[in-house]
Amino acid sequence: EPQVARDDIIKGTDDDAIISKLSAVNLGYLDDPFVKYFVKRPSRRPPLINRGSYLRTRSLDTFTEQFIKNDITPSSITTTTTTTSPTSATTQSASTPSPTTTATAITPAAGIKKQIVSLGCGSDTRYFKFKAKGLSAHKYFEIDFPESTAKKAVVIKKNKAFTDIIGDPDLRLGLGGTELYSKDYCLLSGDLREFTESIVPKLKAQGFDISLPTLFLSECVLIYIQPGDSDAIVNWVGTNMDASLFVVYEQINPTDAFGAMMLRNLKARQIELPGIHAYPSLKSQEERFTSRGWQAAKAVNMNKLHESLSEQELKRISSLEIFDEVEEWQLLADHYCVAWAYQAKPQQPEPRRSQ
Ligand code: SAM
């Protein structure tokens, strides 16, 4: 099978993700007025899938929220990544306030500029959802294949709901309509397998700054590319950025019965997950970072994240639709993980005072 055909199939995985997200939005799991613009034919997904989409979005939202709200110094990243669970800060603070959100909301961001880079963004709406709530980074970059970014750019450019949030009269399309540039939001086209040679220069041309604390998000993306290529991204970020937090969400456990079935089902749709064989476990997901010089890494499966939901939130989502498939859920959730890692270069030592 030629690579072009394989790439087309991978681009198509975004349609599935966004339809599932809309299903979760329409049922009340998630609050996101932007998703519907990316779905032509909405369809209701089974409860299992809705819960999965909800938890996936919520856990990455939580990282994003904490990254934006807290100052990212090596010590504060430690706090974020080790003592706080990725679901504990609520992203729907209006309806479900939690002590975590309240505490961080009153902590001033101290004016430290931050960047977010979404690798393989697809139709993700996080930038818009967060900025609508008053949460934004100095720069938010999104990257995907040109065919995918072209579709996204059209939707954004022609809908006031999006351009109002971007709020930049100079918002403009570029590179044959495959890119969008504005003050704080850039949609860039390219192939993540050419990260160092082609993506990094593109980012830098749009004001990406290696000295700023940066959150890298990879939601169901690295798993689709060969480990050598995803390792190159992790390596580059770990070596070149002054301070960064990297968050990965993807499938694990390919070899047990459920995992094998999951792979067979994907294969029937011609979807391959080359990354899952290199990073099949929580431990290997952590090592993908620690073995490349990152200071700390942690990976948890979705059961763990589910357990960390507050009783109130669990009650809220349980009221949305009948959910009988508890055992199936646990099996499924055992096959998805969130891994996060941080790395920060040591600060310049204070000059020694002479006696
Ligand atoms: N991150 C989004 C989300 O969670 O909603 C989209 C996830 S979708 C399953 C995977 C995305 O990764 C697709 O949009 C696909 O085009 C993108 N992708 C995969 N390999 C890529 C590559 N080599 N270069 C750029 N984008 C890639």
pLDDT of 263 higher than 70:
yes
Asked whether residue 238 is assigned to any structural domain, the reply reads yes
Cα separation, 32 vs 36, in Å, equals 8
Asked whether residue 180 is assigned to any structural domain, the reply reads yes
Helix (H, G, I), strand (E, B) or coil at 341: strand
Asked whether residue 54 is assigned to any structural domain, the reply reads no
pLDDT of 80 higher than 60:
no
Say which CATH number the domain at 129 has: 3.40.50.150
Q: Which atom of ligand 1 is nearest to the CA of 18?
A: 5
Number of domains, the chain: 1
Distance 124 CA to ligand 1 centre (A): 10
Among the listed ranges 73-77, 115-119, 236-240, which one has the minimum average pLDDT value? 73-77
Asked whether residue 353 is assigned to any structural domain, the reply reads no
Whether residue 109 contacts residue 72, with contact meaning beta carbons closer than 8 Å, is answered with no
The CA distances from residue 164 to 115, 127, 134, 159, 271, in Å, are 21, 13, 13, 9, 37
Distance 354 CA to ligand 1 centre (A): 55
pLDDT tens-place string over residues 21-66: 999 999 999 999 999 999 999 999 999 999 999 999 999 999 999 9
Among the listed ranges 78-87, 129-138, 155-164, 183-192, which one has the minimum average pLDDT value? 78-87
Residues with CB under 6 A from ligand 1: 10-11, 13-14, 17, 120-122, 124, 144-145, 148, 191-193, 219-221, 224-225
Whether residue 56 contacts residue 89, with contact meaning beta carbons closer than 8 Å, is answered with no
pTM over 0.95: no
Nearest C-alpha neighbor of 126 from the set 38, 36, 35, 43:
35
pLDDT tens-place string over residues 139-190: 999 999 999 999 999 999 999 999 999 999 999 999 999 999 999 999 999 9
Q: Which residue range forms the structural domain that includes residue 218? A: 59-93+112-313+335-344
Asked whether residue 5 is assigned to any structural domain, the reply reads no
Asked whether residue 128 is assigned to any structural domain, the reply reads yes
Q: Whose CA is nearest to atom 8 of ligand 1?
A: 14
Asked whether residue 7 is assigned to any structural domain, the reply reads no
Substitution candidate for ligand 1 out of 3, 14, 39, 197 with most atoms within 8 A of CB: 14
